[in-house]
Structures are given as C-alpha cells and as structure tokens.
Amino acid sequence: MGRYILSRTVQSVVLLVFVSMLTFALIHAAPGGPGVLLAPGMTGAQIKEAQRALGLDDPIPVQYLRWLSNLLHGNLGKSYGQGLPVSQVVISRIPLTLELVVTGMLLSVVFGVLIGVVSAVRRYSIVDHLATGLTFFGMSVPVFWLGLMLIILFSIDWHLLPSSGAVTLGAAATLIDRLKHLVLPAVVLATANLAQIARYTRSSMIEVLNADFLRVARAKGLRERAVIYRHGLRNALVPVVTVVALGVPRLVGGVAITESVFAWPGMGQLAVDSALQRDYPVIMGITLMVSILVILTNFLTDLSYVFLDPRVKLTGTR
Amino acid sequence: MSIQRDGRSLDTPLDRRTFLRLTTSAAGVAAGTALLAACGGSSSTPTTAPAGTQSTTSTQSAPTTSSTPSTGGTGASAASTPAASSGPAPKRGGTFKIPVNANITPWPPIGAIQNLMVNKSLFNGLVRYSPTDWTPQPDLAESWDTSSDGLTWTFHLRKGVTWHDGKPFTADDVKYTLGVYKDPNVNSILLGNLEPVSSIDAVDANTVKVTTKTPYSSFVELLCYLCFMLPQHLLQGQKFDRTTFPQDFIQHPVGTGPFKFGEHVPGDHFTVVANENYYEGRPYLDSVIYKIVRDQNSTIAQVKTGELDIAFPSFAQLSTLQGTSNLQIIERGLMDYRFFAGYYKNPQFGPWFSQKAVRQALAYAIDVQGIIKQVTQGKADRSNGPLPPALKAWYIPDLPVFDYDPNKAGQMLSDAGFKKGSDGILAKDGQKYQFTFYTDQGQPEREQTALILQQNFKDIGIDAKLQTLEFNDLQNRYRVTHDFTAMAYYYVTPATPDQHSYWQTNGSTNEWAYSNPDVDKLFDQAMSTFDVDKRKATFKQLYTILADDQAVNFIYHPHELQAINKRVQGWAETDYRDALLYLSKVWMSS
C-alpha cells in the first residue's frame, strides 16, 4: 500500500508537469495578447513596451521555465488584469465553486443511483422507459441551453427563482436566499452527470440482479428489499464509483459553462474570463489547482475500491 | 480559433446563440425571450484616445473670473445639470444596479470600460463632458484660462473638496496625478494625450498651471476623457507600472467622487455607497451596484426581472423587449463610427487601398442606407466622417458623401485599370482583387455589416472574404503587428474634433497608415487655433478633405439603446458612459 501511494505520487507529479507544459504552450499559442495591455488609448508602441516589461517577448520555453521556477518558490505570479497574486485571486473563488460542485455531485449521485435502481428493478416498465428517455435527454442536452431554458421558465416567465448570482445583491444574506440561487445552477450542473450515473447504475444493477448470489439470497428467504439494497446495490456500486469519480473532472469542467450562464462568481467563470483576457498567470494557476483536484480524486477512487470490494488489492506496480 | 465565413449564410459551426435561436424557434418555447436574441453591443471598446492632439477652445464655463483669449466652447450648454425628470421631487434612498461585462480593477491609469464605469462614480476629473453636447464643463476645476500665447493653462480648483478619507483635495494632487499619467513607466492610457505637456505646477493650494511645448487647443476637451484625479497622500512612494497596481489602493480606492468604495466581490459585483460629503451634495442613491454579467442576453433577462435597473440591448434584442411594462427604451447619440478600412502598407493590396479613386469606388459600392436599415433598424446616422451628429458643437453636416451607386463604382475601378476576369473578379496586372478582411467575433451588428459589405464588394467584382477574429486577436493584429489587409470595425473616440493621432501621417493611432500632407498641416493649424470660429473653419476644411479622400470608408454612427427601469429618475440624457458622470443626480421613485 505504501509503495503504491509513493508510485502514484511520483506519477502524479510527472503528469502535473506535462499538463502545465501543455496548458502553457496552448494558451500562448492562442492569438492576441493579454487584454489589459490592449486597453483603448494605448498606442502600438505602448503595448509593445508593456509586453516587453512582462517578458512576453521571450521564447515560450524560457517563459515556461520562469513560471516553473517561480512555482517552485511558491509563487504563482500575479494576475495581469487584477494586479493581485494569483493564489489570492483563485483561492477567493474556490468556496463558491465547491458549493456548486458538491451540491451538483450530491444531486447527481442520490438521484442518479435512485433512478438507476428503480429502472433496473422494474426493467421495461413505463417507469424504466421514462427514466431511459429522460436520462438520454439529460446526457445529450447542452449545458448552456438547459441553463437558459430554465432561466426563461423559472426566472422570467414564472418569477420563481433568481436567474443569476449566488446571493441577492443589496439584500440581507439569508440561507433561503442562497438556496434559491443555488437551485438552478446545481440542477443544470448535475443533469448530465446524473443521467450517466443513472445509466451505469441501471446496467450494473441488472447484471447483479441476475447473479447467482442474489438467487441464493432470495432462496434463503431474504425479503426482496434486503436482497436488492443490501446485497444487490452494494455490489452494483463498484463500477458506479468509477463513473462518479470520472464525473468530478466533468463537473469541474461543466462549472465553467454553468457559472457563466448563471453569473456564478466561482472559479469556472474566472477560468473563462482569464482565458478570454489571456491572463496567463491566472489560467496556469487554475489549471494547476484543477489538475491536482482531478488527480487526487482519481487516487481516492482507486483507494475506495479496496473498501468496496475486498478482492481488489493495490500494488505499486500495476 | 477563428471562423471562416465566405457565404452570406451563417454556415458556421453553431455557436451557442445561433444554436439557441434555432432550437427555441423549433421548440416553440415561449416568448419574452430576450435570451434568444443575438447578443451584440460594444462590450469592449477599442477607444483609441487621440494621443497628443491639437486644436480647441479653452472652454470656460464657470462663474469665475478668468481671462481667456477665446470665447467659451460652442455648445455653452447648461453646465453640470443633467436633464432630470420633471415630475415629483427627488427622493433619497435606493440602490441602482448596472451591468458590467468583466472583472473590475478600479485603477484609472489602465482604463477598460468596466473599470472606467466604476471610476466615474468614485473619482472626479478637473473637467467633464456636458450631458447634452460633450463640451467641457467644470468639475474639480471651477474654471480655467489660457495665456495669450496658448502655451499655459491655469486651472482654478474648487475649494473645500475632500477625499473620501477626509483629507483635502489640493493642487498638489493634480500635479501628482498628471505626473502619474505622464509617466512612461506607468504606461497609462492617457500618456498620448498628455504628451505635449511640458510642466505642471501647483501655484497655490487651489491653482494649477500646466505648460505645453506647443499650443494645444484641445487640451481641456481631452482632459474630460478619463483623467480622474488621484490622492497623492495615499499613492506617493508606491511603485506601480502597467501590470503592478498599488494593491492597498485598488482594494480600497479613495477618490473625491459622489460615491465611496463599499464592497468588492471579484467576479460578482462592486458596490459603491453615497459620499455624504460630496461637493455637489450627497447623492440621492444610497448605493450603486456594478454587477458583473458576461453574457449580454443575461443582462436583458435581468433587467426584465428587475435584478438590474438598466441594460444596453443590441438592435437585434430590441424586439424581445417590446411590451415589457417596467422598462423604458431610450435611444441616444454616441461618439462612435463604423467603417471599412484597408491597410495602406499591406504588401499586396496596400498600393490599391492607397489610391483615392479605389477608396471612393469602394464608398460608392457600399449600400450605407441598406446597412443602416438592415443592421440597426434605422437607429443610426449616415456617417460623413469620424464626427457624429451627436457631437453637436462640432458636427459638420455638409461634407462629401458617396451615395450607393455600384455602376459608378465599377466604372471608377475600370478607369483605374481593373478588368473583370471570366470568373467575374476584378484583376489588375495579373493580380486578382481578392482579399480577406476582419471583424470581431460575437458581435452580430458588426458581423452583419461585414456580410453586407462582402456582398456589396462582390457586386462590383471584388472578392472579399470575411474572417471574424476573437477580440484580442484582432486588436493585436491591427494595432501591434499590423498583420491585416482590411477590416470592418468601429471606433469610440473622445469628444473632440481634434483626432489628429488617427489621421496625421505616423499618428500614434493611425493604424491604416493614411497620409495626406494637407490633413497633417490642418491638424497642426487647428492645434494652435484657440478661437472657436476659426477652429471650426479649419476643421471644416480638414474633414472635407478626409471625407473626399475616404481615408477609410465611413459607414454609420449607431445610436445607443438603453433599457432602463421606469423607477430610475434623473438619469442624464446622454450615452451611458457619460451619464455615469452624473450619477449623483439619479434617484429611484417608489
């Protein structure tokens, strides 16, 4: 186990370096320069001077090594646009994104598993067909479209929920207000993931329901509920855990679009802004943090198998 | 990533808005959907301030004694009184919520539209634009005058003005501020405008003397433009440059403006609260919230639901606002012109674009009225040059314009030696008139204009391919690397006829490399002319040449649309950027 953790850590570091190199190369390959240097009123000569002062005229590898060496000194650099340290800029956005991602994850796991189990148990029933239809819709509908449709219906037409932001501006903060703002974005963020979890749960559950050990469980006289939930679901969940884990990067990615549609001031929106404004240090900071998050999740998922399925053994050389 | 479009139809990979429009119309999803309309509007404004400029009168409008060699500015209009509503007496209280489209950094030297919108509530300039005609009006300077040689400007400051932290505002602050904007290390957006300034002196606590190297008659007009005063006592000794900002200050900005810093949640909103000690009296509003909303469709949705009090719809979004009972739709003139410009130094096509006859032929080929009708629903003025009719004091109505006449265009090109090939494309010396021109992505108004231009050019045998580029990419190409052939674009300029940096040979923002010795000379002449009438005459001569030259093909001046909640009163009757200078007069009815 210890050896396994060590080897995974080394792999992760190598992976991080590659991810950062790739991101660095990609964002610098995008045409146009940092938006803050293109402010109206500045002349071409002024812009060139500012680019030089930031070292943007050095070759990309040189710039990358400079970034890396700063990173090793614990310095992520400074946002071009906001003039504040990247760590401060990014960290300030994390809580709201976590709020959204965690809620979205909870929604998708709880309802995804529930729908999956019901579909499997009542295979080919009306409920199953309905669930199948809805999950296909959920998987294929574009996030921004769903978001805008919900805004039109719930905010503009029915005046039930706010269309944007995390709180009502200029009003006293209340829990109800926060929850109201959370509903639409969390639902939109959860949808695709929920649908996928439901599909996987369904097929995994169907497989398990036909397994010999369930027949044995029934034969020894257990009640159907106990058969399904205690013996069936527990075993069906192992592959689902993988899907849930794979959903983390997807949610974190989806957060960029969801946050933009709902003007949710989190990290996803910061990522989009920074990309549009070519705020290189911030983009790199976000990439780094998200990569670490994804790598960590995958790692924890692998560990969780040990607990869910005693047959799984982790070794350093896989 | 850029999208190549060479047909009239939008046969591009579906972007989200197109997709949305298609899907919803198919799904028949209910109305009221401002969201469906294409988004437009000028999110980021490529305002190129005329760097170093000339010519203007020392407009002096305040009730102070001063000896000015020139008469007051033309539109000697009601000074700082915004045209307020008639009706009931103003009421104190309330919050005004206004959208901005990007993160805010309240540091005046760096400009950018979202920042300057906030700066206008936190800070004051020495002078500001009149809400009716953009003539300079007193702000922190009560009055000003020029010496008889035109080289020295004296500003008499308002007394008793204090910073938000209670310290008095003095001539030292002015000297310090202008020094900051003039510092090449700070690399501010005002660097060019202040270029002719040679020295700044605080004569006494309330008097500042500015000396220029050469006569600079448009100085005060340009001082209205984003020249916000900064507190010396908080900034002196701190190091800042183009990307290093004084951190304490930007996290807690201190100005003299009608509103003080309240709260800043990055990425979400920036709140300013009433300054009890504002020199014009406490503003009616308790606070103003600048809410960051990236998507223009969302701003329309939010102004409908009341989450915002104002939004700035594109022409295409107008129909979605019909019948919204809580909103009033206002149309305002704007310092903005749309144009088609070729790059005179482009190795391949530059020699053609630099021929006056070719540019005039292009002007005849462009169906300006058609564009105005189709793209702006008639909410625009035909353009005869860079000055819009809205700039009442300086607009010159009777300049040469080229009415749509494709036959004449064809004739002129044929006279210039172009011949149509078997494919219907004009060619000269074995070179086809076939090039790619740019506009910026995601701005339906400009994309539509460009598509019509493409068709207009095709009709006379010019094969112009349209490529839409992402904003930063386009900026970089035409301003820094000059890697372009032609573009259909827009400029928002400071409100002055002195636009020499755009049109003089080697002007700092003359991106097209236009050059005409007569124009050069007339701008210089205007710069040293202080008498309003003489200045006007010089500019008329100058802009007649520019229009006849078709330095670029001037197309139209769009009007700005404002969708404003009917509760909002006292909102100045001008474009929103300048209305923000008069926020202290805004109030909310119940």
Residue B539 near residue B394 (C-beta atoms within 8 A): yes
pLDDT of residue B39 exceeding 50, the answer is no
Instruction: Please report residues of A whose CB lies closer than 8 A to that of B243.
Output: 36-37, 50, 53-54, 78, 80, 83
Nearest CA in chain B to A277: B472
Partner-chain contact A152 B33, CB within 8 Å: yes
- Residue A216: predicted pLDDT: 87
B295 or B226, greater pLDDT? B226
Q: Considering only A128-142, A295-309, B346-360, B563-577, which range has the smallest mean pLDDT? A: A295-309
Q: How confident is the model over B431-447, as pLDDT tens digits?
A: 999 999 999 998 889 99
The answer to whether A273 contacts chain B (CB < 8 Å) is yes
Interface of A with B in 80-109 (CB under 8 A): 80-84, 89, 92-93
A294 backbone φψ class: left, alpha, beta (φ>0; ψ -120 to 50): alpha
Q: How far apart are CA B461 and CA B416, in angstroms?
A: 14
Nearest CA in chain A to B302: A163
- Residue B87: predicted pLDDT: 67
Residue for token pair 């009007």? B559
Cβ atoms < 10 Å from Cβ of B10:
16
Interface of B with A in 26-85 (CB under 8 A): 29-30, 32-35, 44-49, 51
Q: How confident is the model over A258-285, as pLDDT tens digits?
A: 998 888 989 998 998 898 889 999 999 9
Residue A58's SS3 state is coil
Q: What's the mean pLDDT when you consider all of chain A?
A: 88
Token duo for residue B132: 């009716």
Element (H, E) at B95: strand B95-100
- Residue B153: predicted pLDDT: 97
pLDDT of residue B576 exceeding 60, the answer is yes
**Closest-CA distance of chain A to residue B110, Å:** 7
- Residue B60: predicted pLDDT: 41
Q: Which of B24, B265, B472 sits opposite A38 (nearest CB)?
A: B472
Question: What is the mean predicted confidence (pLDDT) over B533-553?
Answer: 97
Outline where DSSP puts E strands in B470-584: 486-492, 553-558, 560-565, 568-569
Split at pLDDT 50, 70, 90, the class of A230 is confident
Q: How far apart are CA B117 and CA B187, in angstroms?
A: 20
- Residue A315: predicted pLDDT: 65
Q: Which of B20, B102, B191 sits opposite A273 (nearest CB)?
A: B102
Split at pLDDT 50, 70, 90, the class of B408 is very high
Residue B536 near residue B310 (C-beta atoms within 8 A): no
Question: What is the mean predicted confidence (pLDDT) over B560-574?
Answer: 96
- Residue B497: predicted pLDDT: 96
- Residue A169: predicted pLDDT: 81
Q: In this complex, how many residue pairs, one in chain A and one in chain B, have their CB atoms less than 8 Å apart?
A: 207
pLDDT of residue B406 exceeding 90, the answer is yes
Question: What is the mean predicted confidence (pLDDT) over B41-46?
Answer: 38
Q: Which of A40, A44, A266 sits opposite B480 (nearest CB)?
A: A44
Strand partners, B439: B468
- Residue B179: predicted pLDDT: 96
Split at pLDDT 50, 70, 90, the class of A239 is confident
Residue B211 near residue B194 (C-beta atoms within 8 A): no
- Residue A316: predicted pLDDT: 52
**Closest-CA distance of chain B to residue A104, Å:** 21
- Residue B379: predicted pLDDT: 95
Greatest alpha-carbon pair distance for chain B in Å reads 77
Question: What is the mean predicted confidence (pLDDT) over B561-588?
Answer: 95
**DSSP at B471:** H
Instruction: Please report residues of A whose CB lies closer than 8 A to that of B242.
Output: 36-37, 50, 53-54
Q: What's the mean pLDDT when you consider all of chain B?
A: 86
Question: What is the mean predicted confidence (pLDDT) over B56-75?
Answer: 37
Q: Which of B34, B187, B479 sits opposite A49 (nearest CB)?
A: B187
Residue for token pair 């933009």? A260
Nearest CA in chain B to A276: B472
Substitution target from A28, A37, A43, A137 for chain B, most B beta carbons within 10 A: A43
Interface of A with B in 167-196 (CB under 8 A): 169-170
Interface of A with B in 150-169 (CB under 8 A): 151-153, 155-157, 159, 162-166, 169
Crossing angle (nearest 10°) for helices A267-277 and A280-308: 140
Partner-chain contact B112 A39, CB within 8 Å: yes
Q: Which of B29, B295, B473 sits opposite A31 (nearest CB)?
A: B473
Partner-chain contact A163 B307, CB within 8 Å: yes
pLDDT of residue B50 exceeding 70, the answer is no
Partner-chain contact B243 A41, CB within 8 Å: no
Residue for token pair 């922190």? B140
**Closest-CA distance of chain B to residue A140, Å:** 14
**Closest-CA distance of chain A to residue B155, Å:** 24
Relative to beta strand B95-100, strand B287-292 is parallel
Nearest CA in chain A to B47: A40
Q: Which of A30, A89, A261 sits opposite B266 (nearest CB)?
A: A89
Question: What is the mean predicted confidence (pLDDT) over B527-532?
Answer: 94
Residue for token pair 């002015």? B174
Outline where DSSP puts E strands in chain A: none
- Residue B368: predicted pLDDT: 97
- Residue B46: predicted pLDDT: 40
- Residue A251: predicted pLDDT: 86
- Residue B208: predicted pLDDT: 97
The answer to whether B192 contacts chain A (CB < 8 Å) is yes
Q: Which of A32, A162, A260 sits opposite B294 (nearest CB)?
A: A260
Identity of the amino acid at A132? T
Partner-chain contact B473 A42, CB within 8 Å: no
pLDDT of residue B514 exceeding 80, the answer is yes
pLDDT of residue A226 exceeding 90, the answer is no
pLDDT of residue B299 exceeding 60, the answer is yes
Partner-chain contact B33 A78, CB within 8 Å: no
B440 backbone φψ class: left, alpha, beta (φ>0; ψ -120 to 50): beta
Residue B236 near residue B176 (C-beta atoms within 8 A): yes
Split at pLDDT 50, 70, 90, the class of B38 is very low
B585 or B324, greater pLDDT? B585
The answer to whether B305 contacts chain A (CB < 8 Å) is yes
pLDDT of residue B23 exceeding 50, the answer is no
- Residue A314: predicted pLDDT: 67
Q: What percent of chain B has pLDDT over 70?
A: 85
Mean pLDDT highest for which of A50-59, A84-93, A229-238, B281-290?
Answer: B281-290
Q: What percent of chain A has pLDDT over 70?
A: 98
Instruction: Please report residues of B whose CB lies closer than 8 A to that of A272.
Output: 294
The answer to whether B238 contacts chain A (CB < 8 Å) is no
pLDDT of residue B528 exceeding 80, the answer is yes
The answer to whether B480 contacts chain A (CB < 8 Å) is yes
- Residue A35: predicted pLDDT: 80
B327 or B55, greater pLDDT? B327
Question: What is the mean predicted confidence (pLDDT) over B184-192?
Answer: 90
The answer to whether B443 contacts chain A (CB < 8 Å) is no
ipTM of the complex: 0.80
Q: How far apart are CA B143 and CA B58, in angstroms?
A: 10
The answer to whether B247 contacts chain A (CB < 8 Å) is yes
Split at pLDDT 50, 70, 90, the class of B43 is very low
| Rg of chain A (C-alpha set) | 24
Q: How far apart are CA A181 and CA A265, in angstroms?
A: 12
